[in-house]
Amino acid sequence: MRTDIEDIVRAVSAASDLDDVLEIIVRRVGAFLPIDACRVYLTDVEGGRLVLMGSSGVSPTSAGSARAARHSGLPDLVAERREMVVLADARTHPRYVAPPETGDGRYRAFLGMPLIHFHRVLGVLAAWKAHSPFDRDEVTFFITIAAQLARVIHQAAAVGEVRRLLSGAAPEEGFIQGAQAAAGLAIGTAALVDPLANLESVPDRRSQDVVAEEKAFRAAVTAAQRELQSAGARLTDILPREVRELFDVYSMLLGSEDLVHSTIERIRAGNWAPGAWRDTIAEHARSFDQLDDPYLRARGEDIREIGRRILLHLESDIQAPRLYPERCILVGDSISITEIGGVPLGRLAGIVSRHGSALSHSTILARAIGIPAVVSLPSLPIADLEGRTIAVDGDQGRIFVQPSLAVLDAFERRIGQQAALTERLVALRDLPAETPDGVRVPLHANIGFTSDTEAARSSEAEGVGLYRTEYQFLLRETFPVEDEQYEVYRQLLQAFTPMPVTIRTLDVGGDKILPYFPMEEDNPFLGCRGIRFSLEHPEILMIQLRAMLRANAGLGNLQVLFPMVARIGELDEALELLVRAHRELLDEGQETAMPRTGVMIEIPSAVFLTKALAERVDFVSVGSNDLAQYILAVDRNNEQVATPYDSLHPAVLNAIHKITLDAHERSRRVTVCGELAGDPAGALVLLGMGVDAFSVSPASLSRVKLVIRTFTVEQARTLLETALEKEDELSVHRLLNAALEEAGVLGAGTVS
């Protein structure tokens, strides 16, 4: 049975359009099961009725024409109940209606399964038998196949919706939903990126001339580096230094000794250059794909982009010059920073990518140059979009293909509103984050690399609220030694002195596995991660603590933060190691001073231990991302269970409110450093809680400052009290966004 199901799903997934999908379903299911008729009904979104779209065992002309009234038949009963219906003799059921295409009652047994995707009933898969009832194996097969087909039908329907938009048959305000990657709005003409070489399609081939293959590979690397440098040079004058460095990073990766040497070894082992390069890229990208941390997982996309760029040069030495429209919406399966840099200045208006994430270097570049971007549109038929008008809504993660005049007017209106909002944000740059009733709320920056320093300083951050040291460990082949860590920490502390810099101790485990220190765990997210890993390996933690204390000499702005603490004993042990590192350095005659210390509360048990934890440290930091994940038991990177508003869930807000009250009772300051603090709605509710400082990405700082300067503490507190009474996160989101819109902080609403 499993093989048959896999064959059907594979055939359906390869179908060209929705009609083919439905035809394959009814034909293959009907062939596998001893049934007399198989039908697929799809929900008519506009009319709310089921429409017969595919059938076997009846006249094919009936498909699409049998529009039954709601609640008027067994398929409608299945959709209404959202559950399986099995009947030995359907004719005796009060909801039975003889199929209009036959007009008789020869069908006795009925089996129906709803096709549900993301809580929405897409349709119903139904089967009929004239004589014997359905047995257990047949029912099991039906349950299994229906659950898998819903996803495929959803994707095929999305492709069909785009083509309806292109033909003008869809509703005027129809849009395709993706993921927000870079905020902003744009209207322009779609231009497909040059099709990159397909790494996955490269076959194995024995090399006939190892020297020639190696020479061709090195030449391709050099050509790709020159191309990248040329693209970066065109953007030099409009990018901040830390974003310009992305081109240097890519150029370095293109010539990475690790990538190059691994490929050369494979060539010398007998594989031709494209095959050797394919295997090298696959090996390196896979190590990032296995990580759950979204920033690090996005590095796998970067590796693949590099791989395709080199392969393109391996396969062709000549590239035709490219012409771009005046208002170019760059569209592709994936889009590299080279392709972004290749569009002439002033012409690039927006980016639309079938794949990618908000943390890829391409979208980081898009945000830096103020270009809206929407990604994660797997059903988008990009081949149909060349030359079409596209409106990109980077705020909502939507695109409108061939938009109506009404949509275009709405976009133009919102673009004007956002321009006015941008002027407001620029005017706030040199002003403090202070409420109208005189309460100062320091805004700090979250950073992961020392190259982020300039962005944080230029955003007027009042220090670093979270420096993630794990990136220094994860992007290496070996542990960084004490002197290497010291250099990084010293540079960071000096850049912000005398402002505080909070450096978090190594936070690996779970999704962040050190490539040179693998761990096998059945459930790594509940395993040896964060402070547990560091205490399990105190020799590693001691090196890091010594490096931090040495870097703080003569500066005094270091704050040490311990992550993922679940027990009092864990914090006590970590603090003892810090004291020991301090004593060792003094014994060695080195200048050092004990820094301020903090505990990160991101595990439910720590919420209830806040008072005891706060007594042992100088401040408390709330990691709202992981706290929401553990309280709600959802993987925040899994779109099937997570929502964009999880951090606004009343349970999460109540937990943060309790943390704040308990820490303040012990006279300890509270900082929130998760995504909640960087979201205007989140910042508003945190202000009402009395959170002492926010730590956000540099790009979010000005918008958060606007919230703080717009609302009094009393106004925010009143909204908090109402929010805590809500029963779900969407209600909280609507409450807070309504207040933000009324105050003019959001700048613009949605198009539809």
Distance CA 433, CA 29 (A): 63
- CA gap 7, 282 in Å, rounded: 27
Q: Is-contact 471 449, C-beta < 8 A?
A: yes
Sequence-ordered list of residues with C-beta below 8 angstroms from that of 101, at least 6 positions apart, any chain: 55, 58, 59, 62, 66
User: Alpha helices, DSSP H only, in 482-609?
Assistant: 482-496, 531-536, 538-551, 568-587, 604-607
Residues 6 or more apart in contact with residue 273 via CB below 8 angstroms: 207, 213, 214, 216, 217, 220, 263, 267, 314
Active site residue 528: no
Both tokens assigned to 466: 């979270």
End-to-end CA distance of the chain: 45
Could you tell me how far CA 527 lies from the centroid of its own chain? Answer: 24
Indicate the pairing of strand 389-393 with strand 373-375. Answer: unpaired
C-alpha to C-alpha distance for 76 and 67, rounded to whole angstroms: 11
Q: Which of 361, 649, 657, 664 is catalytic?
A: 361
Euclidean distance between CA atoms 372 and 66, whole angstroms: 43
Burial label, 539 (beta-carbon count in 10 A; 0-12, 13-18, 19+) = exposed
Name which of 203, 494, 215, 183 is nearest 366 in CA terms.
183
**Which 3 state secondary structure label does DSSP give 8?**
helix
Nearby residues of 234 by Cβ (< 8 Å), 6 or more positions away: 341, 344, 345
Burial profile 464-496: b = 16 or more Cβ within 10 angstroms, e = fewer: bbbbbbbbbbbeeeebbeeeebbebbbebbeeb
- At position 688, the amino acid (one-letter code) is G
Active-site annotation holder among 284, 313, 664, 673: 673
Kind and range of the H or E run holding 693: strand 693-696
CB contact set of 3 (below 8 Å; sequence gap of 6+): none
Decide if 657 is catalytic: no
The position carrying tokens 């009907």 is 30
Catalytically active residues are 361, 673
